Structure 1
Amino acid sequence: MSTILSQLKPLKIGDLTAKLPIIQGGMGVGISLSSLAGAVAGAGGIGIISTAQIGFREPDFAEHPQEANLRAIGSELQKARAIAKGGIVGFNIMVATKNYAEYVKTAVKAGADLIISGAGLPVSLPEYVKGTATKIAPIVSSVKAATVICRMWDRKYQTAPDLVVVEGPLAGGHLGFDREKLTELEVDTPHAAETFHQAEYDEEVRGIIALVKKYAQKYGKSIPVVTAGGIYDHADVMHQMELGADGVQVATRFVTTEECDAPMAYKQAYLDAKEEDIVIVKSPVGMPGRAIKNAFLKELEKGRQAVTHCYQCLEHCDPAKIPYCITQALVNAARGDEDHALIFCGGNAWRAEKIETVEGVMRALCEG
């Protein structure tokens, strides 16, 4: 167990207790797998493996992507548990994933402690974990989204979330905001961290916390609220705690660690990035995302890149119409081919200055 000294309270999710209230955010493709998740869990936090094309290293991935992914869920969890030494390990599974239910059921069967689910509203998630010990957490970005999920789970399944993750507009990867809302909050700019209307979004966070408390009281249980998006240092953590959050979810800060599953070329892109290199991009399926501007994104400005193979990754994706294949772009990133890669990141990726250790990052977040 971690020797990190922290005045922060442990994070309790039902019968699970993390010594430190730090959840490592899920990052796909291949950025948060067993090495990173296991290390964070072993340091006293909660490690999260991303299922997004998790089986990209499997020999049959191109021909049978879903089978490869489902197989890798079990093997990655097993490897993470060996590193975690009894710590809490779970999965991030995007609702937009093709055959989403199969991924959730496979993670549950493998013995996941926790499933965090966003990139869409996980309206049927309770159905897939019923009767198991796996805890479930929707990712929401607004009081409206939190209300929809809590009401639906209450009415349809007579249950409430075990945990709620509130993802703010400075998060990385696919975002739970449309471009108009990002612009309204003034984060669709090169200097997002400076111009982001923090006070306005803080009120949204307080509203979500208040809503969740009502459902916690109704079901006679504690439902911790964890905030995410742009959390990079101890001051950020303390700000969230002052808002009433029970913990934080951090992703970008963990990319530039020795234990992160990303290749060194990926980590170097973070180290080399300047503030103006962090941009809002459009995913092939229409969702906005945040990434580092590189040769790949510059090439995209010239026009569509033909899709030569479909990896069956996302629902509502038409290979004949999309501007590029997001799986291929993200797999290229995970394999170190950064000039042909989409490099997702959070709004503070430019702050990375060196390669750290997971223990060092956890200490910086908890102790300052």
Structure 2
Amino acid sequence: MKQLKIGEKTARFPLIQGGMGVGVSLGRLAGAVAREGGVGIISSAQIGYREPDFDKNTKEANLRAIGKEMEKARKLSPDGIVGFNIMVALREYAQHVKAAVKAGADIIISGAGLPTELPALTKGSSTKIAPIVSTEKSAKVILKYWDRKFKRTADLVVIEGPLAGGHLGFHKEELDIYTPEKYKEEIQRVIETVRSYGEKYKAHIPVVVAGGIYDREDVNEALKTGVDGVQVATRFVTTEECDADIRYKEAYIQAEKEDIAIVKSPVGMPGRAVLNPFMKRVAKGEQIPHSPCHGCLAKCSPATIPYCITDGLIEAVKGNIENGLVFCGAKAWKARRIETVKEVVESLFAVV
């Protein structure tokens, strides 16, 4: 069985639990995954939504919650690997990265844009850094930039494929082009790019693949491509330890294959979600009234958006599924019951 080395720590399984916002993967889930031998990841996206002052002091509530959720995870897994997923698209991106470093994150995984300044924001700390890329082109751009500007490279690279959940790193047309076989070729090209920088820096840079990995067969197929590990998100939603409301988890269990669709987020990015009453209203062109702006995404214009992504995601994670945005991976329809994190990890790998 492969193990996944991140800095001085080694995960027993080559598994990263994908970061899911808003409030789906917090300290409880991340800590449980780390305890079972994987890498637990907390999403910083509107992480403070349960803080009493979230509506009035969103920035402070989020920064405070980053420390709180890391503390929860550490209590569950004092020696495990716990990190954060922090989206480049966040308005307070730099502050979130600094807060995660201060909280003692083992690793920061960053996508939804190219994390060009991540090395500067983590400089002087032991926190490892990992960009999320979807294509050879994006891998080349970010690794070349870090090499030239910071004279360093990634500690790990996550390749997120077209079957992933939430916001996707592809244009709508690309989603049709990349069949599973076609995307394996892209994975090979990314691996070669990463390997070239590993050789330059005389280090092994682990490559982890994400998107559409739901069961052991998917894990085995992914590992055959030559990657060092897998990132799994959707499968962990329907666990007892997942931080979302039980009704959120049940939305996955009740979903059929045809209920999962590519939708457009308020800022124009394609994403994958359950086609529930809320998204059907949006698809018909209905303008959904929203709360005062919480300042989540840098490129969002509150006056022109069809709905507020923060409102939609918070409603969903709290269990108001009919009026919320339920992001999910392409294989969420396979969920049939609530499991424990331990059961999921054991089912993904041949546990001896």
Shorter-chain TM-score bucket reads over 0.9
Give, in whole Å, the separation in 2 of the partners of 1:232 and 1:253.
Answer: 6
Partner of 2:123: 130
Runs (5+) with no aligned partner, structure 1: 1-7, 186-196
Note the C-alpha offset of 1:299.
1.6
Q: Which residue is equivalent to 1:338?
A: 321
Q: Aligned residue for 1:280?
A: 262
State the SS of the aligned residue for 2:208: strand
CA drift at 1:221: 1.0
Match of 1:36 among 24, 29, 41: 29
Alignment counterpart, residue 210 of structure 1, candidates 182, 192, 215: 192
The one-character-per-residue Cα deviations of 1:207-263 (angstroms, maximum 9, x if unpaired) are 101110110010111100000000011111111111001000000000000110111
Match of 2:230 in 1: 248
- Residue-pair matches, total: 350
Does the alignment pair 1:155 with 2:148?
A: yes
| Mapped partners of 1:55, 1:109: distance in 2 | 17
| Selected match of 2:294 from 274, 298, 311 | 311
- Which aligned runs of 4 or more in structure 1 are off by greater than 6 angstroms? none
- Gaps of at least 5 residues in structure 2 are none
The 5 Å alignment of 1:57-68 reads 57-68=50-61
Q: 1:177 aligns with which of 167, 170, 176?
A: 170
Q: Tell me the SS of whatever aligns to 2:224.
A: helix
Counterpart of 1:322? Answer: 305
The answer (yes or no) to whether the contact 2:291–2:311 under 8 Å persists in 1 is no
1:78 aligns with 2:71: yes
Aligned equivalent of 2:340, options 349, 357, 363: 357
Q: For each residue in 1:195-216, what CA deviation from the matched residue of structure 2 results, as whole angstroms up to 9, or x when unmatched? A: xx11100000011011101100
Quick one: which of 107, 117, 120 aligns to 2:113? Answer: 120
1:144 aligns with 2:122: no
Question: Are residue 100 (structure 1) and residue 93 (structure 2) matched?
Answer: yes
Q: C-alpha deviations, 1:298-341, integer Å up to 9, x for none?
A: 12124222333101100011000011000000000111111110
CA contact (8 A) 2:153 2:197 kept: yes
What residue identity is the alignment partner of 1:135? K
Give TM-score scaled by structure 1 length: 0.94
In 1, Cα distance between the equivalents of 2:75 and 2:171? 39
Match 1:52 to one of 36, 45, 69: 45
- Shift in Å, 1:184: 2.4
Q: Secondary structure at the match of 1:367?
A: coil
Equivalences for residues 9-28 of structure 1 within 5 A: 9-28=2-21
Q: Is the 8 A contact 2:223 2:229 kept in 1?
A: yes
Determine the C-alpha separation between the residues in 1 that align with 2:224 and 2:112.
27
Q: Distance in 1 between matches of 2:269 and 2:77?
A: 33
Opposite residue 195 of structure 2, the aligned amino acid is: K
CA contact (8 A) 1:13 1:223 kept: no
> SS of the residue aligned with 2:209?
strand
**Does residue 268 in structure 1 map to residue 261 in structure 2?**
no
Deviation at 1:16, TM superposition (A): 2.0
In structure 2, what is the Cα distance between the partners aligned to 1:335 and 1:289?
A: 20
**Quick check: 2:26–2:42 contact (8 Å CA) kept in 1?**
yes
Identity of aligned residues (%): 59
| Structure 2 residue aligned with 1:90 | 83
Does structure 2 conserve the Cα–Cα contact (< 8 Å) formed by 1:33 and 1:261? Answer: yes
